Amino acid sequence: MFPVFGDERRRPINLGGASSVPSQASILQEVRARRSERQDVKHRHEKATRLQAWWRGLRAARAARYEIRNMFDRNVTNLTGLRCLLFIGRDEDVLGKWSITMSSHGEGTRYHNRACIRTHENLSFDAANLFEPATGPHRNSWITLIRKACLLLLRSTARFPE
């Protein structure tokens, strides 16, 4: 196209790309920033995964303790109840319930609001309740578990001497 008036100039257009060339230092700084951002994202994902695993483990442990407590309540006087007692460990209500149940004939004792209440003052110790399973087929297990239960009871008595 020919200019009509002659002094008209076209606007210069640069088709060569960016006019400023990035320096090596700015390129390295940008690469480091991107790497740091990727590492931060990776660490956040790892921490979130660890927190989620901790929370799932806490919920599973709570559910297992609840199930073991229910199993203990159903089987206070047998081998399963004793195993549950030892697994529960330092729970004064469970220790009290087990010790009163095993030391009495089962009469005159009731449980209310997770506390042991004696309704009859003349409860006698019945050794048959405690040692009868020691003569059965699970003799070795019972003796080992009774020894550990006695240790729990002694520690509980030492903590709360009243």
Between residues 32 and 81, the one the model is more confident about: 32
Mean predicted lDDT score pLDDT of the chain: 78
| Placement of tokens 């903590």 in the chain | 159
Place of tokens 């088709």: 15
What predicted TM-score, i.e. pTM, was given to this entire model?
A: 0.57
Q: Rounded CA gap, 6 and 2, in Å?
A: 8
Does 3 score more than 60 pLDDT?
no
Half-sphere exposure of 117 (CA within 13 A, CB side): 7
Provide the pLDDT confidence category of residue 92 given band limits of 50, 70 and 90. confident
Q: Is the pLDDT of residue 117 over 60?
A: no
Alpha carbon distance 130, 102 (integer Å) = 6
C-beta of residue 100 within 8 angstroms of C-beta of residue 77? no
In the structure, what pLDDT confidence band is assigned to residue 157 with cuts at 50, 70 and 90? Answer: confident
> What does R_g of the chain's alpha carbons equal in angstroms?
38
More confident residue, 69 or 121: 69
DSSP single-letter state for residue 136: S
* Amino acid letter, 58: L
Measuring CA to CA, how many Å separate 33 from each of 27, 29, 30, 90? 10, 6, 5, 53
- What is the model's pLDDT at position 18? 62
pLDDT exceeds 60 at position 140: yes
Which among 98, 63, 107 is positioned nearest to 79, based on CA atoms?
A: 98
| Alpha-carbon span 129 to 82, nearest angstrom | 12
- 8 pLDDT band (50/70/90 cuts)? low
Give the pLDDT band of residue 48 (cuts 50, 70, 90).
very high
Instruction: Tell me which residue has tokens 């002694």.
Output: 154
| pLDDT at residue 5, rounded to an integer | 60
